[in-house]
Amino acid sequence: MSIVLKTDPPVEHLAQRLRHQSFTNFAEKLWDTLRHGRSLNRRREARYPTHDSVQYQILPGQVPWLPATVLDVSRSGLRLELPLLTHKDCSIESLWPGKMSIFGEIRYCCKVGRAYEAGVLIQGIVNAEPNHVGHFHDDQLSLYLAGKGLTAAEVIGVREHLVSCELCRNRLEETQALLNQMRTAKLLSGAER
């Protein structure tokens, strides 16, 4: 007695799609690695690189305002370049004059070169400007997806708008799908050479 296993075409098609999806995920991670020149990012949240000059103050306002640079921003935090060592668990306010204030807590601070890098867990945002009225332009959504070209304040504004605007979220997903297709095609054409 022999047993013959018959593979249905839909199962075969599903397996092929899964293999393609795995390659697409790998290709996206590879593209991110090549674009940023670093190893694959294992963080829970994507970081958006910026280079914004801001001011910061240790709360409750015992030290005068000091200059800082926002190196990147994620959904729940900032990475700042500071001139002075700041202790973990300190509360700070970072100020974009005329735009917004972000209140947060220092999660780490370490020396890097002549400055210090600090991770800040965002606890609150106060906007000086009214929230974005209307929908974002495709260029702004593309820059947001590309991970460069917007200031930290603009990134936060886009994120806040996307929470309440289904139309812009859908446009963002469509733009991301298009960019992913272009990236995959570019990687495949490079591999064929």
pLDDT digits (tens, 9 = 90+) for 86-144: 899 999 999 888 788 899 999 999 999 999 999 999 998 887 665 556 777 777 777 88
Distance CA 140, CA 129 (A): 18
Model pLDDT for residues 5-51, shown as the tens digit of each residue: 444 444 454 445 445 554 555 555 555 555 555 444 455 778 888 88
> For 39, what's the count of Cα atoms within 13 Å in the CB-facing half-sphere?
2
* pLDDT reported for residue 43: 57
* pLDDT reported for residue 2: 44
Residue 134, sorted as left (phi over 0), alpha (psi -120 to 50) or beta, turns out to be left
Q: What letters, b where the CB count within 10 A reaches 16 and e where it falls short, cover 44-56?
A: eeebbbbebebeb
Cα 142 versus chain centre, distance: 13
Strands 77-82 and 115-127: antiparallel
Q: What pTM was estimated for this model as a whole?
A: 0.62
- The answer to whether 144 touches 46, Cβ cutoff 8 Å, is no
**Cα torsion for 164, 168, 170, 171, to the nearest 10°?**
-170
